[in-house]
Amino acid sequence: MKFSLATWNINSVRSRLNLVKRFLQTYQPDILCLQEIKCANGSFPSEMFHSIGYNHIELNGQKAYHGVATISRMPIERVEARDFNGSGEARHIAVRVAPGEADNLVVHNFYVPAGGDVPDEKANPKFAQKLDYLRAMSRWSGGHSRKDTGRLILVGDLNVAPLETDVWSHKQLLKVVSHTPIEVDHMEELRRSHDWIDVMRQHIPPEENLFTWWSYRARDWRASNRGRRLDHIWMTPALDRTATSLRVIEEARDWEKPSDHIPVLAEFDLSQE
């Protein structure tokens, strides 16, 4: 089975529906995982997706905040929408791709809490929530057996930039939420819990700067280039060598009224296992 998969924190799907349509028509991924859709399931604009051939939609929405959606041209089947730390927030959905076929692939779409501004668990409940969420993800991930056969892809806005080259200034961001040592440690614990493979860094060497988010505060985001890599695509060891290409769609940050995140697009060929 060959397919392409994109992940994108859209920062309100209804406000940026024209951008989503433009992306889908231009790049034509088979599967699109959206985060921060900011709408309840009943308010999701399914008609637009159906009109351009994306007839399979699974949602875990929430009015005005958070929310994730997985949209596909291929058949998908809802597996679960898990509340990882009991907050009641809509931050995860899992789907089985091409259910009934032998490949038996599950895609997990995540929106990890941002964590607020103060990197202190005791002083900032939002930061404590973020670390609790990452710990819960590690426990869940570590509970999966059969690393050699379990076909899982994990994507989304994980809100952590783990490498020094994932931020515009490692030294200046060490005390800024998203790149603090404790967050990086928690993310590495999650990655190691099932030996997840960082697809983006398989294709773009760790020595190279790689960003997927730029603040709205910069008048010219390209000129300042104060970015961070907050969006990720991971796969389990059973899928090693199946990610055949990767594209970081920077041009989307120049579109009218853009999200502060950009899409990341990967292609997979499961026959390469």
pLDDT of 150 reads 85
Name residue 247's amino acid: R
pLDDT of 146 reads 74
Pairing of strands 31-35, 2-9: parallel
Query: Is residue 101 a contact partner of residue 1, using CB atoms and an 8 Å limit?
Result: yes
What lies within 8 Å, CB to CB, of 267 at 6+ separation is: 2, 3, 4, 5, 243, 244, 245, 246
Query: Is residue 211 a contact partner of residue 168, using CB atoms and an 8 Å limit?
Result: yes
| pLDDT cut 90: percent of the chain above it | 92
Flag whether the pTM goes above 0.85.
Answer: yes
Residue 54's domain comprises 2-272
Rounded Cα–Cα distance for residues 113 and 159 (Å)? 7
Query: Is residue 199 a contact partner of residue 243, using CB atoms and an 8 Å limit?
Result: yes
Spell out the per-residue pLDDT of the chain, length 273, in tens: 999 999 999 999 999 999 999 999 999 999 999 999 999 999 999 999 999 999 999 999 999 999 999 999 999 999 999 999 899 999 999 999 988 776 789 999 999 999 999 999 999 999 999 999 999 999 999 988 777 778 999 999 999 999 999 999 999 999 999 999 999 999 999 999 999 999 999 999 999 999 999 999 888 999 999 999 999 999 999 999 999 999 999 999 999 999 999 999 999 999 876
pLDDT of 100 reads 74
Rounded Cα–Cα distance for residues 209 and 164 (Å)? 8
Rounded Cα–Cα distance for residues 259 and 253 (Å)? 7
Closest CA to 173 of 213, 156, 181: 181
DSSP lists the bridge partners of residue 7 as 33, 264
Total number of domains constituting the chain: 1
Q: What is the CATH number of the domain that holds 50?
A: 3.60.10.10
Rounded Cα–Cα distance for residues 21 and 2 (Å)? 22
Q: Which two tokens stand for residue 18?
A: 């024209």
Scan for tokens 């997927």, then name that residue: 212
Rounded Cα–Cα distance for residues 196 and 188 (Å)? 10
